[in-house]
Amino acid sequence: MPSSTSPDEEDGLETCVLKVFDLDLKESNLVNPSNSLKAELDGSTKKKYSFAKKKAFALLVKTKQVPAPSYEFKGKRWRCCQQLFADQISIHRHVATQHAEDVYQQTASLLKQLTAALSASQSLTPTDK
């Protein structure tokens, strides 16, 4: 029986949406250099890796925050990639999937700063021999 919206058209739309969703997941899995970075680190720096990654992620999310008019919305809002995010979960999901490379670069930078600061503080510590 012919209809204006056939089940095939609906399935095609669903398939398209699923393919886009699969593509996003594949891209986020392919761009996962943080695992290789963590594997290359020495023991003391590995302990700082988790802290640096969380800090890098938080800093990136913080840079995306935009002020919301007080009369319109009292919570926080974020703008990224020409999208407006009203809840923290959605901006975190977006940053994790779309900006993994940025988080990786910031994590590496923070680790360098942490190790440099640690080296400087150890060189200032007097050693009695």
Instruction: Enumerate residues 6+ apart whose C-beta is below 8 A from 116.
Output: none
What gap in Å lies between CA 65 and CA 51, rounded to an integer? 21
Residue 24's alpha-carbon distances to 48, 84, 102, 112, in angstroms, are: 29, 19, 16, 30
Q: Cα-flanking dihedrals φ and ψ of residue 126, to 5°?
A: -70, 140
Predicted model pTM: 0.61
Question: Quick one: pLDDT band at residue 108, thresholds 50, 70, 90?
Answer: very high
Domains of the chain: which residue ranges? 44-116
Read off the pLDDT of residues 16-70 as tens digits, 9 standing for 90 and up.
Answer: 333 333 333 334 444 455 566 666 666 766 778 888 999 999 999 999 999 877 7
What gap in Å lies between CA 35 and CA 122, rounded to an integer? 28
* pLDDT at site 24: 39
